[in-house]
Amino acid sequence: MKTSILYIFLLSVLYACDSHSLLPPKQQLDQQIAQLNDYSLLSGPLNDQLCEEIETHAQEIGNDSLLLATRQIIYTRYCRLQDTAHARMLLDRMKPYAIRIKDKHLLMNHLRMAFLHAQIRQPAECERWINEARKYAYINPQNWYITAASACLECGLYPQALIYADSALVNLKYKVISSPHLVKAIALSRTGKTAEAEEWTQ
């Protein structure tokens, strides 16, 4: 099945090349991104090659906002593939542009790296990326607390999860069962405080 997917992908690339150069640069880029989205299961060298071509094309167009948006698409893809090495490289390349134009994704991209390392059970790296994200927490402090709490919970950092959940709860304006309530309840339960955990789910 995997072989047939790669074969179809290669055929589509060859077919696209015939008409690709006839399109304006932005449309060529859109076509490449659409092709990347069509092959969501593609990974490994072929995926890396296509991502590299797309990024190079965006650079050649010379529009910083477009380049940042393109890198965001590729970064999200590598996060979904749990490819931490490529995701980190993309984040490093995005950061100068993102800081300059105050990009709204700046905080979430760092938190996404924390959550990615949490999912593959690398607690030290998860915590490091939470601390990296702290620099941009001013963009949305509540989002930072909630996501940091969830990432810590995901990789078993229960004391830290409780601290971040408590910070998020302080900023809630009304009592309602929400993400920080649930994170706190689960963290308490997993540290043996079952009775206290139940209070946070009522």
What's the CA gap between 5 and 96, in Å, rounded? 36
Q: Rounded to an integer, what distance in angstroms lies between the CA atom of residue 100 and that of residue 194?
A: 47
176 three-class SS: coil
Question: pLDDT tens for residues 60-91?
Answer: 887 888 888 888 888 988 888 889 999 999 88
Distance from C-alpha of 151 to C-alpha of 52, rounded to nearest angstrom: 29
Q: And the tokens for 147?
A: 């996501």
pLDDT tens digit sequence for 144-190: 898 899 999 998 999 999 999 888 888 776 555 567 788 888 888 88
Q: Tell me if the pTM is above 0.75.
A: no
